[in-house]
Homo-oligomer: A and B are copies of this chain.
């Protein structure tokens, strides 16, 4: 599959998902809330999770469209977490647009999140798969995992130190659970064997980690406009990231003192970003993040090496590569 074909294929799936999302969001009641739910959907995003659902279905021999309702459900579950997390993180923007609570207040944010989660379950239940009950069980498991991860994440800023292990355990729940769900649902709907579904889940876990670390990395190195959020936003908000937990582990002497001071005291956010970014570079944690992304995308590709060779698996392989090359 050529790069161009793969990109076109991805765009096509993404457009179909956007259409599916818009269709279900149009059913928002009361109509006054529709401007809120539409805003969330229109804010966009790469739709990587629902695309993984469609491709995972195809990878085990199904048709991508069989998994469309589930794919839309996964994206709605993701959107629900973004809306509520943005309230808890006091995030003024999301994907370059004002966040829901910034536009309509916290009350509407809470309610819009609840509604979108409800629409997510609604969409999932439209799948009409023989394994419908297993889909619902997985979906609920992921919802509980995401809440658990968010609860742990909320406790982190109040803690003096977070180990690399603790950070990964949190990330595994908060963002990993959704990637795993995305691929598992597609595999189940496509009538994959238990073994195939497990392989897809492993792929999802590794891609999820790579995606998260790249997200942390882009926060520091990306161009503001292209990335749609403020560079250094994680540092400004004192968020624990892969870069920070690694830097805290490696920093000695004056670097360690500077790091602790930057995150502890009354250092102005812009200055904090400058100091911390400089330390990240000096300690080599940016390079370490790139290596880790390579490791995870390699493991992702290995996970699905036993699946049939078809357009679905080819696209899953392409996504791993594109994620690593940061062309994604």
Encoded as 1 (CB less than 8 Å from any B CB) or 0, chain A from 18 to 41 comes to 000000000001101100000000
Task: Report whether A88 and B115 are in contact in the complex, using a CB–CB cutoff of 8 Å.
Answer: no
- Assess whether A154 is interfacial by the CB under 8 Å rule: yes
The CA-CA distance from A108 to B139 in the complex, in Å, is: 22
Task: Report whether A118 and B136 are in contact in the complex, using a CB–CB cutoff of 8 Å.
Answer: no
Task: Report whether A110 and B122 are in contact in the complex, using a CB–CB cutoff of 8 Å.
Answer: no
- Assess whether A140 is interfacial by the CB under 8 Å rule: yes
The CA-CA distance from A143 to B125 in the complex, in Å, is: 14
- Assess whether A279 is interfacial by the CB under 8 Å rule: no
Task: Report whether B133 and A110 are in contact in the complex, using a CB–CB cutoff of 8 Å.
Answer: no
The CA-CA distance from A122 to B118 in the complex, in Å, is: 14
Task: Report whether B110 and A30 are in contact in the complex, using a CB–CB cutoff of 8 Å.
Answer: no
Encoded as 1 (CB less than 8 Å from any B CB) or 0, chain A from 103 to 114 comes to 000111011011
Q: Pick the contact of A122 from B33, B106, B140 — CB < 8 Å?
A: B140
- In the bound complex, residues from chain B placing their C-beta under 8 Å from that of A122 are 140-141, 144
- In the bound complex, residues from chain B placing their C-beta under 8 Å from that of A136 are 121, 125, 136
Which chain A residues (2-55) contact chain B, with CB distance < 8 Å? Answer: 29-30, 32-33
Chain A interface extent, by class: 35 or more
Encoded as 1 (CB less than 8 Å from any B CB) or 0, chain A from 75 to 94 comes to 00000000010011000000
Q: How many protomers of this protein does the assembly include?
A: 2
Which chain A residues (169-218) contact chain B, with CB distance < 8 Å? Answer: none
Closest to A144 in B: B118
| Chain A binding surface SS class | helix
Task: Report whether A106 and B107 are in contact in the complex, using a CB–CB cutoff of 8 Å.
Answer: no
- Assess whether A117 is interfacial by the CB under 8 Å rule: yes
For the complex formed, measure the closest distance between the CB of A159 and the CB atoms of chain B, giving whole angstroms.
12
Q: Pick the contact of A121 from B29, B84, B121, B151 — CB < 8 Å?
A: B121
Task: Report whether B121 and A32 are in contact in the complex, using a CB–CB cutoff of 8 Å.
Answer: no
The CA-CA distance from A139 to B137 in the complex, in Å, is: 14
- In the bound complex, residues from chain B placing their C-beta under 8 Å from that of A139 are 121
- Which of A29, A84, A113, A118 has most chain B Cβ within 10 Å? A118
The CA-CA distance from A144 to B108 in the complex, in Å, is: 15
Which residues of A does B touch, CB under 8 Å? 29-30, 32-33, 84, 87-88, 106-108, 110-111, 113-115, 117-119, 121-122, 125, 132-133, 136-137, 139-141, 143-144, 147-148, 150-152, 154-155
The CA-CA distance from A154 to B107 in the complex, in Å, is: 9
Task: Report whether B30 and A148 are in contact in the complex, using a CB–CB cutoff of 8 Å.
Answer: yes
Task: Report whether A118 and B106 are in contact in the complex, using a CB–CB cutoff of 8 Å.
Answer: no
For the complex formed, measure the closest distance between the CB of A115 and the CB atoms of chain B, giving whole angstroms.
5
Task: Report whether B30 and A115 are in contact in the complex, using a CB–CB cutoff of 8 Å.
Answer: no
The CA-CA distance from A143 to B147 in the complex, in Å, is: 18
Closest to A29 in B: B148
The CA-CA distance from A141 to B115 in the complex, in Å, is: 11
